[in-house]
Structure 1
Amino acid sequence: MSTASTLPEGRYGRSADERADRKLRAIGGVLGVALIGVVGWFGYDYIAGSEISAQVITFKAVSDSAVEVHLEVHKDAGTKGYCTLRSQDADGLEVGRADFRFDQDSSRLDKVVTLRTTARGTTAELLGCHPG
């Protein structure tokens, strides 16, 4: 005789426990999927949301106190932000740094900006762009 047949059916809460386990698994699965969705949404928004990028197309030292920099800026239409540029002299010392704002509504801008320097700049480097 097996022990399963000797125990009265429904005794010790076995069938209720099985139902509770199924409910808990279903609730846990739904909450897990929801958590993954929320984390994914915030991650996507952080990486892809309101981004401004740019690149230096050309630059030219126009005097001992200025460098002209041609920038190509890509951003979401209506997004405002700024890009930081710097220039160095022949010895690698920083001779100029400035932020340039881009508040136009278009998503692509070609802009020539003038970076003021304390000595003749031989480079123009884009340090980064930020919304805001």
Structure 2
Amino acid sequence: MGTISISPVVLIILDGWGYREEKEGNAIAVGETPIIDSLWQAYPRTSIQASGKAVGLPEGQMGNSEVGHLNIGAGRIVPQELVRISDAVEDGSIAQNQDIEKCCQDVSERNSKLHLVGLCSPGGVHSHVN
């Protein structure tokens, strides 16, 4: 049996660095990037999807570095809160959420008030307008 040679591997994550061939409005494509260009030519590389279902978000929803790092670190698609909450509302399972049930029960038993505070933005990672 032959000897197995193991080469070192480096994972380089460049936040905000995307790949798109189109040059219009693309600072990376039109800018001078000699270090990245030399790495690109000399070593194997790949690109990954950073939005939508590939990172646990709805189709067409832009991701961010937090979402990307979570999925890379997990090595699998991690459903994001936006998807989990939207699915629970849509299929009705949110009504059986034990934390929500306990909260409502505590408010009722104590005859107290419940103040709900939320975020509303089209960003889709920490909040959404839908």
Higher strand share: 1
Q: Which structure carries more relative contact order (alpha carbon 8 Å, separation 6+)?
A: 1
Alignment TM-score, normalising by the size of structure 1 = 0.25
Higher helix share: 2
Alignment TM-score, normalising by the size of structure 2 = 0.25
